[in-house]
Amino acid sequence: MKAKFIFIPLIGFLIANICSCTKAGTGGNATVVCKVFNTDNGSAPVNGATVYVKYGQSTPPPPTANNSGYDDHKVADANSNSVSFTGLKEGTYYFYAEGNVGTATAPQMVSGGNAFSLTHANRNGSSTANISVMY
């Protein structure tokens, strides 16, 4: 009889934990501000970069035309090196950025990515993800 009283709460605990698991992606309350920096140029900001995000992954998706393997993307303003992804849940994300540096007549493409973990402690706030890009 004593075993029943231990077994029933244990089953309830396991069901509650399984049902409360969330996957990375939209539907949450967090914001991740992605800032793009060129590590080949003294960590200079890369203004106007496009930032892509893959939910629930710490590695980039397989290469596709137009980066269609990513779940979302944003383009920074011409005078800014950052974009914000809002409404995210806690979890792992892979951010990838592409941009141009140099002059208008001789632009040079830079790209790169980083994994980012949005923790339980930051699930309702704002976090910053720095993305390092190179030539």
List the pLDDT tens digit at each of the 135 positions of the chain. 555 555 555 454 444 444 445 699 999 999 999 999 999 999 999 999 999 999 999 999 999 999 999 999 999 999 999 999 999 999 999 999 999 998 889 999 999 999 999 999 999 999 999 999 999
List CB contacts of 4: < 8 A, sequence separation 6 or more. Answer: none
Nearest partner of 49 among 111, 113, 103, judged by Cα: 111
CA distance 114 to 109: 17
DSSP 28: E
Q: 7: which DSSP letter?
A: H
What is the C-alpha to C-alpha distance for residues 75 and 22, in angstroms, rounded to an integer? Answer: 27
pTM of the shown model: 0.83
